[in-house]
Every structure is written in C-alpha cells, then in structure tokens.
Chain A
Amino acid sequence: AQSVSQHNHHVILSEAASLELGCNYSYGGTVNLFWYVQYPGQHLQLLLKYFSGDPLVKGIKGFEAEFIKSKFSFNLRKPSVQWSDTAEYFCAVMKKAAGNKLTFGGGTRVLVKP
C-alpha cells in the first residue's frame, strides 16, 4: 500500500533558524505532491504543490519544497522561520491515476520559540 513518511514528529526551533522537514513516499507511479499546514485552531491550508515541471516549487509565506524523483522525496524548507510558523505540517501524495484521493503523512509539529 502507498505510504507517506514524515521523518520528524516534533521540531523545536528559534526564530530566524532554518527549517527543513522531510517527506518520503512509497508509490512508484506519477504523483502530485503537497504540503499542507494546520495552524493552532485553524483548518488545513495548502502551502505549496507540485504537479509537474520545475522540481523546486515555491509556496506561500516563504516556504519552498524540492521534489527529488529518484529519492521519492518532497522536502519542505524555509530559510528563516518566524514565531507565526508554529503549526503542524503535513505532506500529502496524490496518485495521478487514481482520482484525487490524498494520502497524508503523520505530520510534524513545529514549535518556533520567540
């Protein structure tokens, strides 16, 4: 079965530190890839997505992610985090051949200390 793995369950950073969250998936076919964010008390919001083309994608709030097909990875990065980036981050995969069902990773809780 297809799975999505997020390597870190919890990350604690200070403001201005760089952030990188890992995501690997197990499906070998063509996929669409997503990072969603869930701020405390708010609903899931899309940070960025990869459908095709340039494997380095830029999203909202200064986030970017790189798709490395050979490594089945889609890691999320931000050069300098802010306290407001405190949230839970979810990687998700959509198999192109199977409708638009999303398979999510377990999430990474990020705490940014002011």
Chain B
Amino acid sequence: DAGVTQSPTHLIKTRGQQVTLRCSPKSGHDTVSWYQQALGQGPQFIFQYYEEEERQRGNFPDRFSGHQFPNYSSELNVNALLLGDSALYLCASSLGVGGSTSGSMQYFGPGTRLTVT
C-alpha cells in the first residue's frame, strides 16, 4: 500500500522564479491538502483539493496556487518566489466521504524542501 509521495525531495530556486511541487496521495484517498512548515515552526495550512476543486484555503497569497488531477494527484505552484517562501512543503492525503472531508484522517508525505536564494 503506497503512502503519500512527493517530488522533488529538495529544490533550490532564485527569488522571482516559479516552482511546482507534486504530490501523489495514499492509495484510495481522493483529497489532498498542502502545508508549509517554516524552520522551527509547525505546519501551516495552505489549501485543500477535493474533486479537482480548491475546497479550503488558508492565509496564503494568490502567488500560491494548486491543481488536482483526475487521478487525485496534486500540484502546488508558487510564483514570484520570495526568500520567506523557503520551507518544507508537506502534502497530506485523506478520504472525502459524501462530498465532505470533515473529520477524516490525514496522512503526510515526506515533504519537499524548498530553498529560495
């Protein structure tokens, strides 16, 4: 049973560039959430995708966008990178039930370490 996978593992970008991070959910899961974990802090919720739509969004600017594909995998895109975007980006998957993700367990991937120079 494959768990949540993310690619790439590490990434170095320059300020102003754009980046795309990828996530494949755990087998059987249809919901993907993205979190940003800055050094020394807890993860912060970016947004969640279910049925190929953004269902919830945290307090992140529009530079952060995403997409979910029919096979439930997801991408996180960040435009116009800032030094402050350097962080570990975590993907979590879960199972939506009856059109709702309320209360369902999230399983985390290993993350993508993004460094912006």
Q: B-contacting residues of A (Cβ < 8 Å)? A: 4, 6, 32, 36, 42-46, 49, 51, 90, 92, 94, 96-107
- Residues of B contacting A42 in the complex (Cβ-Cβ under 8 angstroms): 110
A104 and B44: CB pair below 8 A?
yes
The answer to whether A101 and B58 touch (CB under 8 A), given A32-B103, A43-B109, A43-B110, is: yes
Report whether over half of chain A's contact residues are helix, strand or loop; otherwise say mixed. strand
- Shortest C-beta distance, A91 to chain B (Å), equals 8
In whole angstroms, how far apart are the Cα atoms of A94 and B102 in the complex? 9
- Residues of B contacting A97 in the complex (Cβ-Cβ under 8 angstroms): 102
Interface status of B56 (Cβ within 8 A of chain A): yes
- Residues of B contacting A102 in the complex (Cβ-Cβ under 8 angstroms): 33, 35, 43, 45, 92, 106
Interface status of B25 (Cβ within 8 A of chain A): no
Contact digits for B26-39, partner A, Cβ 8 Å, 1 yes 0 no:
00000101010000
In whole angstroms, how far apart are the Cα atoms of A101 and B103 in the complex? 9
The answer to whether A100 and B106 touch (CB under 8 A), given A43-B111, A44-B90, is: yes
A99 and B43: CB pair below 8 A?
no
A100 and B43: CB pair below 8 A?
no
